[in-house]
Amino acid sequence: MIFHYRDTDIHYSLTGTGKPVVLLHGWGQNRGMMAPIEEHLKKQYRVINLDFPGFGESPEPKEAWGVADYTAMLEALLKEEKLENPILIAHSFGARVAILYASKNPVCKMVLTGAAGIRPKRGLTYYLKVYSYKLAKRILSLPFLKRYQTSLLRQAGSSDYQSTSGIMRATFVKVVNQDLTDCLKQIKAETLLVWGENDTAVPLSDGKKMEALIPNCGLAVFENDDHFAYWHQMDRFLRVIDIFLASKE
């Protein structure tokens, strides 16, 4: 299915019947990463699973988007499909959108895994890395060094940043620079956080901060796993979701 929004075609699937569930994938991914969850939940729920603009089958937006833009798109899509008070299930970047959405709109329940949204405190190592990257970029712009540019800059910069270009690179910068900490306190929905114990992309310490800030929230830790713990342990993740959704609101 396709939803036309701001000159961009949003590709999504809508399956099953019952209470609405919204699946929101992470950065650099697509709705295929959430497909096992869709297949499992569509037996009892009305499940919408989308490719964010710039990922999967959905083309890039015409200009750089921030979290608010992606959230406004989600609000418009759910309004179009007449899906109210949804259950949100989101990973990483998708959790940024879920957090902002839930801070402003009625949400039944929410499951966030490896959730991004808290801007990390930057240490000296980070700023040295950023400075090194910018310096390398200026030096390597010299004509006789351009053939070395891609490989050397990839070593100096963020892998997510380096894997994007043009509008999506500018979008990435807008997204990661938005701190959603203040939104966490405004979430009224019962929330479950699922985290990989050894997540290096979004550390477990962020999960503990979110658990403390979201009023009605619990944290489940998948031992000896990383940022994609939900995917590596999908059967366990689905069992956890089933128990959480079956519990009294």
Q: pLDDT tens digits for 203-232?
A: 999 999 999 999 999 999 999 999 999 999
Mean pLDDT, the chain cut into blocks of 10 residues (249 residues total): 96 98 97 98 98 97 96 98 98 98 98 94 48 51 50 48 74 93 98 98 97 98 98 98 88
Q: Quick one: tokens of 164?
A: 């994007």
| pLDDT for res 85 | 98
Q: Which CATH number fits domain 2-119+178-246: 1.10.10.10, 3.40.50.920, 3.40.50.1820, 3.30.450.20?
A: 3.40.50.1820
Element holding 188 (H helix, E strand) = none
The vertex-37 CA angle with 100 and 171, nearest 5°, equals 40
Element holding 127 (H helix, E strand) = helix 124-140
Element holding 219 (H helix, E strand) = strand 217-222
CA atoms within 13 Å, Cβ hemisphere of 160: 14
| pLDDT for res 209 | 98
| pLDDT for res 149 | 46
| pLDDT for res 124 | 46
Distances from the Cα of 54 to the Cα of 7, 25, 111, 183, angstroms: 13, 12, 23, 25
Edge-to-edge strand list for the sheet holding 2-5: 2-5, 8-15, 46-50, 20-24, 87-91, 109-113, 190-196, 217-222
Domain map of the chain by residue range? 2-119+178-246, 124-166
Contact of 227 with 199, CB cutoff 8 Å = yes
| pLDDT for res 55 | 96
| pLDDT for res 164 | 63
Alpha-carbon span 227 to 236, nearest angstrom: 15
| pLDDT for res 241 | 98
| pLDDT for res 136 | 52
Q: pLDDT tens digits for 138-155?
A: 555 555 544 544 444 444
The answer for 114, left when phi > 0, alpha when psi is -120 to 50, beta otherwise, is left
Which amino acid would we find at residue 51?
D
| pLDDT for res 166 | 82
Contact of 188 with 214, CB cutoff 8 Å = no
